[in-house]
Amino acid sequence: MSRSTRFDTKKVNSELVNLTYGTLVAQMVKDLDNPDDVSKQLDRIGYNIGIRLIEDFLSKTGTARCLDLKDTADKIQTAFRLYLGVQPNVVNWSPAGDEFSFILDSNPLTELVELPENLKQLKYSNVICGAIRGALEMVQLDVQSWIVQDQLKGDQNTEIRVKFIRRLEDAMPAGED
Amino acid sequence: MSLGGRNKLSILDKPLSRGKGEISLSCFALLFSEVVQYCQNKSQTLLDLQNRLHELGRRVGTKLIDIYFVRERNGKRETKLLSILLYVKSTFWKALFGKEADKLEHSNDDENTYYLMEKEPIVNRYISVPRDKSSLNCAVFIAGIIEAVLTGTGFPAKVTAHWHKGTTYMIKFEESVMGRDSQLEER
């Protein structure tokens, strides 16, 4: 169904994105002393991107409401393909069905990246987790997302875990109560 | 079980990618918007913001030099001023932005100055500049990239971005570059 949807083909060179993101991270590492703070900030940036990117996704794919979390996972998978040009696998479902992972064989964000020894705890790709969280929050899904495996740290794949927390109820806009 | 260092191929041991990877423009636009916001939060003045964007662009440019010259020119660099300018306008621009820059002009008034023009730089596509900051051109980020590429290949220059026929990058070479180039011409 959504397979046949023709996506907007406007693309940019991945190295431009890659290096732009890398320079931003490097600048943050300079500005903030603690790599953990940088990771947090990267997640925040991802969140900011996610809450706006979801609009783009909905309008480009014309996708309908998700029926269950499996459906959601499939749609995020489409989003990976649409936005980053990679096709991750959805795996490692928890028995309760509220947690799953995306496995990426290659991560376009880290193509030209090497982490120095002193930044091994930096979660370089946290921006992706943030984006997933931000985007889902805009469709009333509260999730957590974090990096389990990271190719930058010598792992075979990059694994991003997503855990469903709760459905958000429609909240009244501030000041309207 | 884990043997530290397993799979630890250094990035330089891996083959250089062909650089054909693509990412959605929406992603880049939003990322760039975050970059601008980040710089803005750190800046007191408009000039400060432009300088920060320019500096980030320079760092991107520095890293692109080697990748592009190795990939597309077998590591051979340019020695003549006009060749490097044409390289930036065509090969480099095409590889990075998917098309050539619109126009390259030599200034009438100043021997050292060239203009590279682009109607709609990719970074500006989704940026609307607020009225009170109308002089801000975020393509200064790209100006930084050009500056780093020219300077890093042995043609030290200052590159700035201006609102003129879309965006015009003003490239001002150092005197030494012009001197050397005219010497090359004479031979």
Q: What is the CA radius of gyration of chain A?
A: 17
Of B3 and A127, more confident: A127
Output the average pLDDT for chain A.
Answer: 90
Tokens of B81: 């001023």
Q: Which domain holds residue B145?
A: 25-186
Q: Which residue has the higher pLDDT, A161 or B185?
A: A161
For the cut 60, the answer to whether the pLDDT of residue A8 exceeds it is no
Residue A172 inside a domain? The answer is no
Please spell the DSSP secondary structure of chain A, one letter per residue.
-GGGPPPP--EEEHHHHHHHHHHHHHHHHHHSS-HHHHHHHHHHHHHHHHHHHHHHHHHHH-----SSHHHHHHHHHHHHHHHHS--PEEE---TTSSEEEEEESS-GGGTT----GGGTT--TTHHHHHHHHHHHHTTTEEEEEEEEE-GGGT-SSEEEEEEEEEEPPPPPPTT--
Report pLDDT for B20: 79
Query: Which residue would you say has higher pLDDT here, B73 or A19?
Result: A19
Number of domains in chain A: 1
Is B19 contained in some domain?
no
For B68-120, the pLDDT digits (tens) are 998 888 888 999 999 999 999 999 999 899 889 999 999 999 999 999 999 98
- Mean pLDDT across the stretch A3-7? 45
User: What pLDDT, on the 0 to 100 scale, is given for residue B160?
Assistant: 96
Instruction: Give me the CATH number covering residue A145.
Output: 3.30.1380.20
Is residue B68 situated within a structural domain?
yes
The CATH number of the domain holding residue B91 is 3.30.1380.20
| pLDDT value, residue A51 | 95
Per CB-CB distance under 8 Å, the chain A contacts of B7 are: 154-156
pLDDT score, position B184: 87
Cα B79 from Cα B83, distance rounded (Å): 7
Give yes or no for B98 touching A (CB within 8 A).
Answer: yes
The reply to whether A45 falls in a domain is yes
ipTM attached to this prediction: 0.90
In a domain, B11, yes or no: no
CA distance B28 to chain A (A): 6
Give the pLDDT confidence of A162-176 residue by residue, as tens digits: 999 999 887 666 665
User: How much is the average pLDDT of A49-64?
Assistant: 93
Residue range(s) defining the domain that contains residue A109: 36-167
State pLDDT tens for residues B126-139.
888 888 888 899 99
Asked if residue B49 belongs to a domain, the reply is yes
Residue A4: pLDDT band by 50, 70, 90 thresholds?
A: very low
Residue A14, domain member (yes or no): no
Residue B83 lies in a domain: yes
Q: Is residue B10 part of a domain?
A: no
**Which candidate from A48, A83, A155 shows the least CB-CB separation from B23?**
A83
The whole-number average pLDDT for the span B149-166 is: 95
Comparing CB atoms, the residue among B7, B30, B97 nearest residue A49 is: B30
Is residue A24 situated within a structural domain? no
Evaluate whether residue B12 is within a structural domain.
no
Output DSSP code: residue B104. Answer: E
Hey, are the CB atoms on A83 and B26 less than 8 Å from each other? yes
Domain presence at residue B177: yes
A11, part of any domain: no
User: For A49-53, what is the mean pLDDT?
Assistant: 95
> How many domains, chain B?
1
How confident is the prediction for chain B on average, in pLDDT? Answer: 90
Q: pLDDT > 90: what percent of chain B?
A: 69
Query: Which residue on chain B is closest to A9 by alpha carbon?
Result: B24
| Whether residue A1 has pLDDT greater than 50 | no
